[in-house]
Chains A and B, each alone.
Chain A
Amino acid sequence: MASGETHGAGRPDAGGPGQGELRNSVSVAIAGSGGAGVMTAGNMLLEAAAQAGYYALMTRSSGPQIRGGEAAAMIRIATHPIDGTDDRYDLLIALDWMNINRFAAEIPLGPQSVLAGDPDQGEPPEVFVKTGARYTPVPFKAAAKKIPNGWPNMIAFGLVGALVGLAEDALVKTVQKSMKKGGDALAGSLAAVRAGIEAAAGISGVPRIGSPPPQSPRWLVTGNQAAGYGAIRGGVRFVAAYPITPATELLEWMAPALKKVGGALVQAEDELASINMILGASYGGVPALTATSGPGLSLMIESIGLGITAEVPIVIVDVMRVGPSTGIATKSEQSDVNIALYGMHGDAPHVVVAPNSVADCLMTTQWAVHLAETLQVPAIVLADQFFGQARAVVERPADVAFAGERRTATAGDEGYQRYALTESGVSPMAIPGTPGITYTADGLEHNERGTPSSQAADHIAQLEKRARKLALLDCGSHWADVEGEGDVAVITFGSCTGPVREAFARAAADGVRARLVSLRLLAPAQPARLAAALEGVRRVLVVEQNHTGQLYRFLRAEYDLPGEVSSFRRPGPLPMRPDEIHRQLIEWSRA
């Protein structure tokens, strides 16, 4: 795209008189101070988009106050599946301007954007004005006052819905669904929504969403919920965890869900406890998981090493947030690659996987359980806050049935050796309660029987056994999503994948073709598979969201990358945007 216009890849069509152009993706943000109900309005917009047959994705941001601070709901509605945010917002609606300037970097506007705010709450802040966005005053509060039981956020919901072109029917149904009690409250909200729809007639220049795609089975789900469900589908029935943003919602979803399917979740006193509780449960034969974020993962590391040495399968979901230390708890950054891959002391082979979309949080977590159980090894799921806390309309993920499960030993097996040096490296595990094959699981180096040993021969034999399990893993096609062709390739993972895909679509319009490798399996590394995927590639661009190029360095260490390799990285808290990747890709492919 030659002009500065960087909205969705859709070509503008002529809209009706006074209506905005048609696009295949429209991005809006609703902001306001605490209690203004912007999250409610945002969630309802998401639901209305789903109702109307679109794909959509909502992320959220809020000020530092624990409760009641300013907040912004950022929603992207599209005619195709989306896994990231766009470069700019087409519309920002502010119910008031209290501290809303905080969100300026997160809600980038341009001259094409429309800014709507309540004039009784003051003028829009300079940061927004200087973007060139066109300002339209809308007296939300005054209008709401005139409607019995009407609220400004419902007017905003009606206004945005109408501006982006969602059918009135979808908006009304969403309100009815969210206010099942009906009565005056429902009547007031419906009246407010209608007032919003009417106000939309006076605002021009907001793009409208094109016709909805053909219907298909879809879900409205967060990445954290999808991961929790994937864990249960994979067989997890015991979870122990300590609350931490942004993993808490995963746990809160799992607590009642586990109860229903015959499992349990325990809130532990800290992450040292949660990781050891799941080790204990899994040692007892019950597939077990914990979820945390960087600070918690740091505390768990020693015990993950125990799981590796004692060969106890466990799954650790790390919903990555900005680090190091407490960092920025509510924002995304892919900066736990190093600790996930290299955190353990000693030579400690284990599994690290990373989902690359909201929907993929399901499959990848389910796969992690499968890998942990079949290989009797800890598996870390590196999920992104962006997915974890994003709520999205996604294609219903395909059912995946992973064959194989934990190999257990049989009662009375004469001469049973827990850590027998098998060809596959996997040795049958005795489950407590089984007579005749009792053993002690040990984090001390041991011989085949499990007896602690400081003999060089035992150490090398067990190191090789534990490494062999992973080296022999046949990961099939799950190791990465490989797409496109051309002699330039982008290697990325996690939440950068969506923006990279969008950058590719734009590059294609410029005549640049490229290959995408979105790695799902970070460890064990798959050099032969990557080499095949990159055959004929002249240039590689590694894209990731952190400051030091953790993925890039890992790739350089573990792989022979073809041709010239460049690293494009930047830290959080702002999500990766297609435009910045697009520019890098064009530059690198033409350099």
Chain B
Amino acid sequence: MTTPVKAQAAVTPQAFKSDYKPVWCPGCGDFSVLSSITKAFALLALQPENIAIVSGIGCSSRIPAYTTCYGFHGVHGRALPAATGLKLARPELTVVAAGGDGDGYSIGGNHFLHACRRNVDMTYVVMDNHVYGMTKGQPSPTTEPDWDSKLSPGGTGMRAFNPLVIALAAGANFIARGFAGDPNTTATLIAEAISAPGFSFVEVLSPCVTFRPEQREWKQMVRPAPVQSTDDPGRAARRLMTDDGMNVGVLYKGSRAAYRTAIAKAQRRPAELEEEFKI
């Protein structure tokens, strides 16, 4: 934009929160993920207008409008491609995609794989509650196989998906796990993810108190990852394959170059293109 921007004062986390009242149930983990995200922005001294939060559909995907950043609340499962298009078109923006486990791993699963591969410089925050919250309690790809529900009585019988391992195998450059019950750590993880080049993936265990009340116990189960993060994908794979899903921290930080920003500098006027058609 051509409008001159005055040097602006540092923005507090609170200033990144909009005045909309979230639709979330009281106690939902997503409240604290929202706080972590806004804290991360403040830690990085970003300005709201230079950030875009892109999401799909689900309880968690409601997050963009609860911030004062630019937001894009699209269709179910397509946050990553929308974020990719935005970042490639406007590389100077900080782009954060956010959403749920159903949105990102089920209906949007293909985009997850390819976003990891493509390694565009953006951050993806998944609020994983092992359930479809918005549609009132169906199993998601991260739900345990024997979790009983109305739609899949007795469980799906399908093995839960390990998003971190998949992200690593597909090429994500930064992989971390956070917990909604520890918003400060999550904020630093998200800030580090944003600062890391390429595609950064932060999976946040975010309890759905309404459909998975037992997830309140996660508070007792999570722990800081016992070892430092690694840049060795083989080592990271072994750790991610064998941990119980409760280790919190940066688990992998690679050095793969980010996808080259695609928009090139103009060398020719459009009218010159027609030379090749002339007889």
Contact = CB atoms under 8 A, between A and B. Distances in A.
Contacts of B266: 260-262
Contacts of A281: 85-86, 88-90
A446 B265 CA distance: 37
Nearest to B20: A451
A270 B267 CA distance: 30
Interface in B248-279: 262-274, 277-279
Interface stretch (A152-160, A225-233, A579-587): A225-233
Nearest to B53: A440
A280 B81 contact: yes
Contacts of B262: 264-266
B163 to A, nearest CB: 17
B49 A432 contact: yes
A110 B93 CA distance: 65
A263 B71 contact: no
A538 interface: no
Interface stretch (A65-73, A212-220, A527-535): A212-220
Nearest to B73: A442
Interface stretch (A79-87, A191-199, A282-290, A569-577): A282-290
B73 A276 contact: no
Contact of B273 (A240, A257, A279): A257
B228 to A, nearest CB: 33
Contacts of B5: 411, 435
A434 interface: yes
B263 A262 contact: yes
B85 A219 contact: no
Contacts of B263: 237-238, 262-264, 286
Nearest to B82: A280
Interface string B45-71: 001111010100000000011001111
Given A434-B3, A438-B49, A268 B81 contact: yes
A273 interface: yes
A276 B81 contact: yes
Contact residues on A (Cβ < 8 Å of other chain), bracket: 35 or more
Contacts of A302: 75
B78 interface: yes
B49 A277 contact: no
Given A411-B3, A438-B48, A280 B268 contact: no
B3 A276 contact: no
B173 interface: no
A444 interface: yes
Nearest to B110: A269
B74 interface: yes
Nearest to A272: B78
A444 B265 contact: no
Given A221-B277, A302-B75, A433 B89 contact: no
Contacts of A433: 1, 49-50, 90, 92-93
A40 interface: no
A259 interface: yes
Given A283-B82, A393-B279, A433-B49, A269 B111 contact: yes
Interface in B1-36: 1, 3, 5, 8, 20
A442 B74 CA distance: 6
Contact of B65 (A264, A280, A450): A450
A220 B277 contact: yes
A434 B75 contact: no
Contacts of A441: 71-73
A280 B72 contact: yes
Interface in A216-252: 217-221, 225, 229, 232-233, 237-238, 240
Given A238-B88, A438-B49, A410 B3 contact: yes
Interface residues of B, number: 56
B264 A259 contact: yes
A443 B113 CA distance: 25
B277 A303 contact: no
B38 interface: no
B216 interface: no
Interface in A302-359: 302-303, 305-306, 310
Contacts of B86: 280-281, 283-284, 432
B89 A431 contact: no
A50 B85 contact: no
A536 interface: no
Interface in A50-68: 50-51
A430 interface: yes
A442 B81 CA distance: 16
B93 A443 contact: no
Nearest to A302: B75
B114 interface: yes
A435 B88 CA distance: 21
A591 to B, nearest CB: 44
A439 interface: yes
A273 B78 contact: yes
A274 B93 CA distance: 20
A452 interface: yes
A67 to B, nearest CB: 26
B73 A229 contact: no
B200 interface: no
Which 4 A-B residue pairings sit nearest by Cβ, starting from the closest?
A262-B266, A440-B71, A280-B85, A277-B85
7 contacts: A220-B277, A269-B111, A272-B111, A273-B78, A310-B74, A432-B52, A433-B93
Given A220-B277, A286-B90, A450-B65, 16 more contacts: A237-B263, A260-B272, A261-B270, A264-B262, A266-B88, A269-B110, A272-B110, A279-B85, A284-B52, A303-B75, A396-B274, A411-B5, A432-B52, A440-B65, A442-B65, A442-B73
